[in-house]
Amino acid sequence: MKETPQIDEIRKQGVRIIVEQLGIAEAAFFFRETMAQKFNYLELKSQLFGNMTVADIYREINKSS
């Protein structure tokens, strides 16, 4: 029998897929607009941007525009 995935793992996979499909700029907008529930912003920030610098994020946003 397959083990039930943990909510944290599902959340991480969801964030990764949304970022891959929408790009950083649109994913950030999506999360801001849809995450009305209490969540750990620093964890989300880490999942979205990892070790990216502000310059990296800026370049990524400009590529999406």
pLDDT digits (tens, 9 = 90+) for 1-60: 567 668 888 888 998 999 999 998 899 888 888 876 677 778 878 888 889 898 998 888
Residue 64 has pLDDT above 70, yes or no: no
- Which pLDDT score is estimated for 2? 61
What per-residue confidence (pLDDT) applies to 26?
A: 92
Q: Which helix (H) or strand (E) holds 12?
A: helix 7-34
58, containing H or E segment: helix 54-64
pLDDT at 55: 92
Task: State the pLDDT at residue 17.
Answer: 94
Instruction: Give CA–CA dist 19/13, Å, rounded.
Output: 10
Contact 27, 20 (CB under 8 A): no
Q: Is the pTM of this model over 0.75?
A: no
Amino acid in the structure at residue 64? S
Is the CB of residue 29 less than 8 Å from the CB of residue 58?
Answer: no
Amino acid, res. 18? I
